[in-house]
Amino acid sequence: MLDILYQSDLLGMMIEDAMIKESSYRRELTDDYVKKLLLGISKNRKYIDGEIEKYSKNWALERMSMIDRNILRIAIFEIKFLDDIPYRVSIDEAVELAKSFSSEDAGRFVNGIIANYVESQHKGDIEPTE
């Protein structure tokens, strides 16, 4: 899923087009949750990107690494639009993805932005992970 978002970002293509391209040889796209997530991010990308920029404090979206940017898109979408996933789970997963697939400091960077976002949504009901 992260790789499809990355491909879409890298090639400047719609997420749906990246999904079609990938679906010919990937079973992952038969998973309803993955489809729901990718299509939801696509539909709400303007909102999601606006929230990332709003809570990133002096980091323009285009200055962020594509991996970090897309990890943040996944987490913000889950937190805002999927009630069945506790926001702490979304935060933990995002931080772990950043640690695994991005730079040394990416876990803290991603955690800080998501923590700022969640705090604004949940009025201080959050403790940063990591």
Which CA distances in Å does 5 have to 25, 30, 57, 94, 122? 16, 16, 23, 14, 27
CATH number at residue 39: 1.10.940.10
Q: Which pLDDT belongs to residue 35?
A: 87
Structure confidence by residue, pLDDT tens digits, 20-66: 877 655 555 567 888 899 999 999 999 999 999 999 988 899 999 99
Per the model's pLDDT, the better-predicted residue between 123 and 104 turns out to be: 104
Residue 128 placed within a domain: no
How many whole angstroms separate alpha carbon 32 and alpha carbon 112?
30
Residue 54 placed within a domain: yes
When pLDDT is averaged across residues 10-15 and rounded to a whole number, the result is: 91
Q: Are 98 and 68 in contact (CB under 8 A)?
A: yes
Q: Are 59 and 97 in contact (CB under 8 A)?
A: no
Q: Which pLDDT belongs to residue 30?
A: 61
Residue 73 placed within a domain: yes
Structure confidence by residue, pLDDT tens digits, 101-122: 999 899 999 999 999 999 888 7
pTM, two decimals, is 0.87
- Placement of tokens 């705090």 in the chain: 119
Please give the tally of structural domains in the chain: 1
Q: Are 75 and 110 in contact (CB under 8 A)?
A: yes
Long-range contacts of 29-37 (CB under 8 A, 24+ apart): 29/4, 34/1, 37/1, 37/74, 37/77, 37/78
| Structure confidence at residue 73 as a pLDDT band (50, 70, 90) | very high
What is the domain range of residue 117? Answer: 2-122
Q: Which pLDDT belongs to residue 69?
A: 97
Polymer length in residues for the chain = 130
Q: Which pLDDT belongs to residue 66?
A: 96
